[in-house]
Structure 1
Amino acid sequence: MMRARITGTGSAVPDKVLTNFDLEKMVDTSDEWITTRTGIKERRIAGEGEYTSTFATRAAEKALEMAGVKADELDLVIVGTVTPDFPFPATACVVQNNIKAVNAAAFDVTAACSGFLYGLSVAEKFIRTGTVKKALVIGAEVLSRIIDWSDRNTCLLFGDGAGAVVVEACEGDNGVLSTHIHSDGSFWELLYLPACGSRNPATQKAVDDKLIYLMMQGNEVFKLAVRAMGEVAHEALAASGMTPADIDLFIPHQANRRIIDAIGKRLGLAEDRVFVNLDRYGNTSAASIPIALDEANRSSRIKEGDIVLFDAFGGGLTWGAALLRW
């Protein structure tokens, strides 16, 4: 059977580290408060002259190198992001130019924290139909540019970075077994960016009213995330006739340690089967799963034949899962 198989992974994050102790000097909080409620200890913040495409390009180059694929062999470049370099053109087009993927179609996917899984699902379908042989899927964010650094409800949570995978058409049993994506737009106001679109253009009033910053109702998002991520995880397993006992490594969206622990508990997974790097990067939205995957891959946490489950939830609301045999 023809499957979409991940043959290379890569990630890139800024050099600048913002710790909880740094945040103590910026807002009314403490390292203990942040760690207890989120599990985050530090996050990476983009510097001057660094953009979403900066990290997306670096991650892409690393993934291509691991896969042994040249950029001009790519048929498709997809970037999942809510912090593109520009409203248009797509950041994927910027990355395509940077890496010289001259033969690839390129576009962005906007599904917030589920963006990488949405992009992987699209690439997998193109490969299954035989229209694409090699694809590059990236999750990349510079969330620090849409955060109100005086709002402790949000500024504690987010970080910047990118992760990428090369996905190739391969015969055999290894590869993506299934992908599952969902959304419920009735909850769009729980997590969104009010301004900089056609509804609220980027006017001086929008700036003065702080509409240019991410807004989130965290408690409501938390409850919906736990339920949706648990359900879609079981959906993905059921599609392949598997149970949680078959999972060798669970790589969830790195949003909040309590969410990750709750999902792991619902799946009955021991801690050593759940990959967590949230403490070092915070919530990097669409970038979180591919960054975690690259770290797991390069540290030999995954071996050939392992069953790996990805699971994400984000603004939209959107959520999804992907099950792979590595």
Structure 2
Amino acid sequence: MNIKITGVGSYIPQIVEKNTDFHQHEFLNIDGSTIEHPNEVIVEKFKDITGIVERRYAKDHLTSSDLGFFAAEKAIEDANIDREELDYIIVAHNFGDVKANAIQSDILPCLASRVKHSLRIKNPKCVAYDILFGCPGWIEGVIQAQAFIKAGMAKKCLVIGSETLSRVVDKHDRDSMIYSDGAGATIIEATNDEGGILSHETASFTYDEAYYLFFGSSNKQDLCRDTRYIKMHGRKIYEFALNNVPQAMKTCLDKSGVNIKDVKKVLIHQANEKMDEAIIKRFYRLYKTPVPEGIMPMSIHKLGNSSVATVPTLYDLIVKNKLDNHQINKGDVIIFASVGAGMHINAIVYKY
């Protein structure tokens, strides 16, 4: 028995927010003071570091569970399964359903229950629950689905990563330009086909690192101090990722028994182009092997950082031949990897 991704789908929101749209923002330092550089310089420097040119935002009437439902419909259709046969629906997110222009998160009921409701699944034995695991949430959901299947508790699972980060950003913080909205979904099944999940690795670093990403007040001091927004210690996250993600990927690959030279693609969480490039360089340096050309596909330039949605969306774009100059063929070995709030790291070695 092998455990494979038999269907994949994604939802990419329609509203395009370009870098030039931030030229009129009032960006402030953490203490509320004015940043000395003009916005055009701030935005250009941002693009040089992150690689982001534009990002996608959900329309006001849509929430994260809506986006997850749209992606799930596509994944179910792609897998050609009866949705009533699903044993688990696992939804990874960070902030629940945040309505446009609202300040509260809504997770009652959980997003997985909302998605199951929207899918009109009648089977009560289809268990729906959420996981809060930062940006690596979708990968962790796949790892959990695999565990259920291995334990004989499930045959088919739906794993979704969905987020509307545009609803929780501080528009006076330069980091707000990083974040975006989106959803990706996959069907995980036990099959007799070759390939599937070969190994996985997960770690949580919390002793010093737990609050590298956190909820904090706006940089604009006269706004309500009790309204919180997503904040991060960018330099600390960058250094943490470089010091820990490559080793986690290596541990995962070594457990799989696959030679580094047989890896065809590495799908890393689309957080920051410079950071991802540094991670991949360090990973290959651990094997004293040069980085192969085209090994790391990127979607961040057009889609931004949609947290839990980035990896499944990237995977969907590649297998549906919607990402230029990248493809995955039957038998190819790929690595999924992510790092995010918590601080959590995980990876999967997967044979397509």
TM-score category of the 2 structures, normalised to the smaller one: over 0.9
| Pair 1:51 & 2:68 matched | no
Quote the residue 1:250 is aligned against.
Answer: 266
Structure 1 distance, partners of 2:293, 2:271, is 17
| Pair 1:222 & 2:242 matched | no
**Contact 2:241/2:279 (<8 A) preserved:** no
Which of 264, 268, 279 does residue 263 from structure 1 map onto?
279
User: Shift of the alpha carbon at 1:89?
Assistant: 1.7
Superposed, 1:153-302 pairs within 5 Å as 154-186=175-207, 187-194=209-216, 208-209=224-225, 211-266=227-282, 267=284, 268-299=290-321, 301-302=327-328
Deviation sequence 1:132-179 (CA, Å, 0-9, x none): 000000110000111001111x21110000001111111243111112
- How many residues were matched structurally? 315
Structure 1 distance, partners of 2:215, 2:58, is 19
Return closer, same or farther for 1:160/1:97 CA change in 2, 3 Å cut-off: same
Superposed, 1:109-128 pairs within 5 Å as 109-128=131-150
Quote the residue 2:163 is aligned against.
Answer: 141
Deviation sequence 1:276-295 (CA, Å, 0-9, x none): 11101111111110010100
| Pair 1:80 & 2:80 matched | no
Aligned with 1:233: secondary structure? Answer: helix
Structure 1 distance, partners of 2:122, 2:270, is 33
User: Shift of the alpha carbon at 1:110?
Assistant: 0.4
| Pair 1:307 & 2:317 matched | no
Quote the residue 1:41 is aligned against.
Answer: 53
Quote the residue 1:318 is aligned against.
Answer: 344
Quote the residue 1:6 is aligned against.
Answer: 5
The amino acid across from 1:159 in the alignment is: S
Deviation sequence 1:182-222 (CA, Å, 0-9, x none): 10122122102259xxxxxxxxxxx7115420110000001
Which of 41, 44, 52 does residue 32 from structure 1 map onto?
44
The amino acid across from 1:95 in the alignment is: V
Which of 97, 104, 112 does residue 92 from structure 1 map onto?
112
Quote the residue 1:62 is aligned against.
Answer: 74
Q: Which runs of 5+ in 2 are unaligned?
A: 28-37, 98-105, 218-222, 285-289
More helix by share: 1
User: Shift of the alpha carbon at 1:270?
Assistant: 2.2
Give the structure with higher Rg (CA): 2
TM-score between the two structures when normalised by the length of structure 2: 0.86
The amino acid across from 1:96 in the alignment is: K
Aligned with 1:258: secondary structure? Answer: helix
Range that drifts further, 170-179 or 283-292: 170-179
**Contact 1:163/1:288 (<8 A) preserved:** yes
Aligned with 2:76: secondary structure? Answer: helix
Q: Which runs of 5+ in 1 are unaligned?
A: 196-206
User: Shift of the alpha carbon at 1:318?
Assistant: 0.5
The amino acid across from 1:98 in the alignment is: S
Aligned with 1:112: secondary structure? Answer: coil
TM-score between the two structures when normalised by the length of structure 1: 0.92
Deviation sequence 1:59-78 (CA, Å, 0-9, x none): 00111111101211111100
Aligned with 1:185: secondary structure? Answer: coil
Aligned with 2:136: secondary structure? Answer: helix
Quote the residue 1:203 is aligned against.
Answer: none
Aligned with 1:322: secondary structure? Answer: strand
Deviation sequence 1:203-253 (CA, Å, 0-9, x none): xxxx71154201100000011012221011101110011232121111000
The amino acid across from 1:173 in the alignment is: E
Identity %: 32
The amino acid across from 2:331 in the alignment is: G
